């Protein structure tokens, strides 16, 4: 049986994924989804977990027929967590664990198979007024959008959505509902970085930023061997973030969490310590949903995100943005790149800004490279 306990109420909500096939949801005011949740589910069926959440937090959760008949039917989840928002808990359970989609409106939460959302097309306009001075070629900008977002795009992939119009004021896009949430975040990011608009971070953004900052601080680990789970939890204690092994939630347990591991000697950033321990086990650490997620290295390398880098201080009449892009692509650890290797990330420019879509390790390496120039 899954048990839940409300710890505290908070404020406003924006629901959606970040940089990956996200669930689609309209921004709404609903304090229930920003309450802190405590969950203890042990081999509990998905339907029962959602029923418990619905009852405990007085929020309707409807399971679409496509979800109940899908691949998760009868599957169970094991997860003990506390101190994160209900929004993050639902996003993790639905997107990362069940690989499903969800919508939120005044009627509550609806959980469905990804295909249902992907088959529902919608046309929307996205403001680009602050970007217009940098867009000299609308067609080139259209390709920048297609190459640095998930898609699929009919013109690029043979299936998917279309960019119907590019004007100095807006971009008109027809695509599925799940993808529109990614586009909303994509244009918000561009307007914030390029247009100088300040975007107020959400409660969850602030939590993830705090955890990320904690991973950059120098740390030393235990000198003695410890079981893997105990070692990771000991090292990350000061981050005040829950540690979740994704395979364990699925009930797969491909890695023995009781095996003894050693911590590298010396003082280094906490993230580097974790990497040294996890990489030999084909594991990686990711900050998401207010948690430290321990995932397979393959999964970490497959997931891509989009980031816009301001490189105005790095370019000059003798060193162009294209020169910088070539340097980024040639630098160790930034690839692979689709243009060069046939697989991997994409990179484009918009005036003195570089837009990159690649894995989290790649974006981190690019950030280090640009900061060191």
The reported pLDDT for the residue numbered 151 is 84
In the predicted model, is pLDDT for residue 23 greater than 70? Answer: no
In the predicted model, is pLDDT for residue 64 greater than 80? Answer: yes
Which fold, 3-116?
Phage tail protein beta-alpha-beta fold (3.55.50)
Which fold, 204-300?
Phage tail protein beta-alpha-beta fold (3.55.50)
Which fold, 304-373?
Ribosomal Protein S8; Chain: A, domain 1 (3.30.1370)
Q: What's the CA angle centered on 126, arms 122 and 129, to 5 degrees?
A: 160
In the predicted model, is pLDDT for residue 10 greater than 50? Answer: no
CA max distance for the chain: 66
Angle between helices 203-216 and 270-278 (to 10 degrees): 80
pTM of the model: 0.77
Binning pLDDT at 50, 70 and 90, where does residue 176 land? Answer: confident
Q: Which residue has the higher pLDDT, 291 or 160?
A: 291
Neighbours of 136 (CB within 10 A): 10
Residue from 67, 183, 78, 64 nearest 122 by CA: 183
Neighbours of 139 (CB within 10 A): 9
Fold matches, 204-300 and 304-373: no
Q: Mean of the pLDDT values across residues 280-296?
A: 92
Domain ranges of the chain: 3-116, 204-300, 304-373
Q: How far apart are CA 144 and CA 153, in angstroms?
A: 12
In terms of phi and psi (left: phi > 0; alpha: psi -120 to 50; beta: otherwise), the region of 58 is left
Q: Which residue has the higher pLDDT, 269 or 196?
A: 269
The reported pLDDT for the residue numbered 171 is 96
Q: Which residue has the tokens 């990179």?
A: 347
Q: Which residue has the higher pLDDT, 299 or 201?
A: 201
The separation between CA 150 and the C-alpha centre of its own chain, rounded to angstroms, equals 12
Residue from 27, 23, 91 nearest 53 by CA: 91
Q: pLDDT digits over 249-263, tens only? A: 876 667 888 999 999
Q: How far apart are CA 61 and CA 139, in angstroms?
A: 42
Q: Mean of the pLDDT values across residues 144-160?
A: 90
CA contacts within 13 A on the Cβ side of 86: 30
Which range has the worst mean pLDDT, 47-51, 74-78, 282-286, 305-309? 74-78
């Amino acid at each position: 049986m899954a048990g839940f306990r409300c710890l505290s109420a908070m404020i406003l909500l924006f629901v959606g994924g970040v940089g990956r096939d996200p669930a689609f949801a309209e921004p709404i005011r609903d304090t229930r989804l920003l309450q802190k949740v405590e969950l203890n589910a042990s081999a509990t069926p998905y339907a029962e977990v959602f029923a418990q959440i619905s009852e405990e937090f007085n929020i309707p959760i409807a399971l679409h027929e496509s979800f109940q008949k899908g691949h998760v039917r009868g599957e169970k989840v094991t997860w003990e967590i506390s101190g994160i928002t209900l929004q993050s808990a639902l996003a993790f359970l639905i997107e990362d664990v069940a690989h499903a989609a969800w919508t939120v409106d005044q009627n509550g939460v609806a959980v469905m198979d990804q295909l249902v959302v992907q088959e529902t097309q919608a046309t929307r306009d996205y403001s680009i007024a602050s970007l217009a001075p940098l867009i000299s070629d609308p067609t080139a900008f259209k390709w920048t959008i297609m190459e640095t977002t998930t898609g699929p795009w009919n013109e690029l992939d043979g299936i998917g959505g279309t960019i119907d119009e590019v004007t100095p004021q807006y971009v008109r896009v027809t695509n599925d509902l799940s993808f529109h949430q990614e586009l909303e975040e994509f244009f918000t990011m561009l307007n914030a970085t390029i247009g100088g608009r300040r975007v107020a971070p959400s409660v969850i953004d602030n939590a993830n930023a705090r955890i990320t900052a904690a991973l950059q601080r120098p740390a030393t680990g235990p000198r003695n061997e410890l079981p893997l789970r105990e070692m990771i939890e000991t090292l990350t204690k000061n981050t005040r973030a829950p540690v979740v092994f994704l395979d364990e939630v699925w009930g797969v347990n491909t890695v023995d969490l009781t095996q003894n591991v050693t911590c590298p000697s010396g003082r280094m950033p906490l993230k580097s310590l974790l990497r040294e321990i996890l990489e030999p086990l084909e594991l990686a650490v990711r900050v998401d949903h207010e948690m430290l997620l321990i995932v397979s290295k393959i999964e970490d390398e497959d997931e891509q995100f989009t980031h816009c880098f301001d490189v105005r201080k790095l370019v000059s009449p003798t060193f162009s943005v294209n020169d910088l892009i070539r340097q980024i692509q040639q630098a160790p650890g930034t690839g692979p790149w689709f243009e060069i290797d046939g697989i991997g990330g994409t990179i484009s420019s918009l005036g003195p800004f570089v837009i990159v879509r690649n894995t989290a390790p790649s974006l981190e390496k690019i950030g280090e490279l640009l900061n060191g120039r």
